[in-house]
């Protein structure tokens, strides 16, 4: 009888440990979002993807609707190639929507924001978003600002 309670408590302990690992995997590192089963892939070319990382969120109207699954360099077009997985239930994105890389706050992380277009055709698996807006690079911005001030002083 004592053996039985021992077995049970140890069993609960091991279960709790494994469950903790599962929670860390799903809830904390957000592996669930990786479930590509209920999502479809679209891609886009950006002139500059600086700061964007895989698994960055893809939002529309501030709501996360998917995530970036792959970023690589397109050597034919000299641009950054970004692949995104969009949740299946968000299947009403017009084909001429705009994808832009935006920053959360001044120094925050980069993510992809999508703004709606007006096309009747909807984006589907494997489509490309043609209209893109690159990442805002702070140094370039400051550089341009300084240039402007210098030239306006002339």
Partner 1 sequence: MGAMINRLALLGYAGLNVIAALGRSGVFLFQALTGRSRFGNAFELLLKQLYSVGVLSLAIIIVSGLFIGMVLALQGYMILVGYGSEQAVGQMVALTLLRELGPVVTALLFAGRAGSALTAEIGLMKATEQLSSLEMIGVDPLKYVIAPRLWAGFISMPLLSMIFCVVGIWGGAMVAVDWLGVYSGSYWSNMQNAVEFGSDVINGLIKAIAFAFVVTWIAVFQGYDCEPTSEGISRATTRTVVYASLAVLGLDFILTALMF
Question: Which residues are near partner 1 by CB under 8 A?
Answer: 3, 6-7, 9-10, 12-14, 16-18, 20-21, 23-25, 27-31, 33, 55-57, 64, 105-109
Q: Write down the least CB distance from residue 53 to partner 1, Å.
A: 8
Residue 44 contacts residue 99 (beta carbons within 8 Å) = yes
Q: Write down the least CB distance from residue 9 to partner 1, Å.
A: 5
Q: Write down the least CB distance from residue 151 to partner 1, Å.
A: 33
Residue 128: which residues within 8 A CB-CB, separation 6 or more? 42, 43, 44, 45
The residue (of 37 and 105) whose beta carbon lies closer to partner 1 is 105
Within the chain, residue ranges assigned H as helices are 2-23, 138-153
- Which tokens hold the place of 54? 């895989």
Residue 68: which residues within 8 A CB-CB, separation 6 or more? 52, 53, 54, 55, 56, 57, 58, 82, 83, 84, 111, 112
Q: Write down the least CB distance from residue 33 to partner 1, Å.
A: 7
Q: Write down the least CB distance from residue 68 to partner 1, Å.
A: 10
The residue (of 13 and 145) whose beta carbon lies closer to partner 1 is 13
Cα distance between residue 111 and residue 100, in whole Å = 8
The residue (of 86 and 123) whose beta carbon lies closer to partner 1 is 86
The residue (of 60 and 95) whose beta carbon lies closer to partner 1 is 60
Residue 31 contacts residue 25 (beta carbons within 8 Å) = yes
The residue (of 12 and 124) whose beta carbon lies closer to partner 1 is 12
């Amino acid at each position: 009888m004592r053996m039985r309670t021992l077995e049970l408590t140890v069993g609960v302990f091991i279960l709790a440990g494994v469950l903790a690992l599962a929670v860390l995997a799903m809830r904390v590192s957000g592996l669930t979002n990786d479930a590509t089963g209920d999502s479809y892939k679209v891609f886009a070319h950006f002139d500059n993807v600086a700061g964007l990382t895989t698994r960055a969120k893809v939002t529309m109207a501030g709501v996360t609707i998917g995530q970036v699954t792959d970023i690589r360099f397109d050597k034919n077009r000299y641009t950054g190639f970004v692949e995104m997985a969009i949740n299946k239930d968000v299947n009403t994105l017009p084909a001429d929507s705009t994808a832009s890389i935006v920053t959360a706050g001044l120094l925050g992380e980069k993510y992809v924001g999508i703004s709606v277009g007006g096309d009747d055709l909807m984006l589907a698996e494997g489509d490309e978003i043609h209209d893109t807006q690159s990442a805002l690079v702070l140094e370039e911005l400051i550089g341009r600002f300084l240039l402007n001030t210098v030239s306006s002083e002339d």
